[in-house]
Chains A and B, each alone.
Chain A
């Protein structure tokens, strides 16, 4: 078995375990295009996985304004997923280009 196939299998197992122990996880995507998060504001339910996908030719990252989360740099087509499990309003920005801002509103 190749290493990547093994990883996939591990991931699948992990997902099955997760799926079995909690409510069905939802996922939503925020695109990074032309130095902007799109949509800039999104409301999700607690427990939702938000995936940020960079479509630019320039790397970006995702930093929560409260300083608790900082993604690695996302090169073109890289993505970063984070589970928003607590209700509240979460402002985030790009740590390289801080004029790029967005907000995830998490409802119970």
Chain B
């Protein structure tokens, strides 16, 4: 399950049919694990059911040439969410809220995100746990109501949401890591849930292996996916790679979101990951947010990515 470039690694049977660039983003739908082509308009997104928005990799505190104003682009992202024709039910932030886990960076992020006036569910990225106490600052701020090192679950509109932490206790030579405690909790959390319950999993590092030598994958993701295999509709939302990427495998749709701060190189186009410097006029087209619409009942989920340029 390795995919080295966008859209690769999906066989014909499972192929995600590209639909249309509908104004601000590429749209596609998923119903019971079977993707289908469909055009979506802005007003249609939440005609019934609900929607939520994913933001990721805001890296507050980053001030290098790839984007000297990461706070400003987060503000733009939040303004974009505020202007959505249908109000999302909540936000999820898939980590790297800050660049260096400093209190001021967490404060700045929190104040800007609060402008959306939406409940926000967080999972940490590796940049959020580099305070002197190895993540305690994150847990003190966002860990209330979560388990272990910040993992959590909740239900909304018939969908079960699971937030995972795959950036703690990483092992030499490895990638992202969930660990035995979290996997045991996940097994317990999913136990008794009907297979027809749509599941949305969110975590910082992708749960499918994109580029192992860049650490773009999660060492023990297969253990989590085994637990999810019996469900008819599983949507996995990640960040970390600062670019759009998606893959469908069986009933599981994997999707990685853009950053609100800076882009990273596409696999194979650079010797290493890291902030990618682009001409100033191109930056906003490479940053963005992701909206997910749930039509109620057993899905479908419609995922729409929109850039800050639109």
Contact = CB atoms under 8 A, between A and B. Distances in A.
Q: Do A and B come from one complex?
A: yes
A96 B132 contact: no
B18 to A, nearest CB: 32
B173 A59 contact: no
Contact of A96 (B66, B126, B171): B126
B130 A59 contact: yes
Secondary structure call for the B interface: loop
B43 interface: no
A58 interface: yes
Most chain A CB within 10 A, of B101, B170, B172, B173, is at B172
A65 B130 contact: no
What interface size band does chain B fall in?
20 to 34
A93 B130 contact: no
Contacts of B167: 96
Interface stretch (A17-25, A44-52, A71-79, A81-89): A71-79
A53 B100 CA distance: 17
A76 B64 contact: yes
A57 B64 contact: yes
Interface in A32-50: 34-36
A50 B86 CA distance: 56
Interface string B201-216: 0000000000011110
A59 B65 CA distance: 15
What interface size band does chain A fall in?
20 to 34
B271 A98 contact: no
B275 A97 contact: no
Contacts of A36: 272
Interface of A: 34-36, 56-59, 61, 63, 65, 70, 72-73, 75-76, 91-93, 95-99, 101
Interface of B: 64-66, 99-101, 126-127, 130, 132, 134, 167, 170-175, 212-215, 271-275
15 contacts: A35-B273, A35-B274, A36-B272, A59-B127, A59-B130, A70-B134, A73-B100, A76-B64, A92-B172, A93-B172, A96-B126, A98-B171, A99-B174, A99-B213, A101-B173
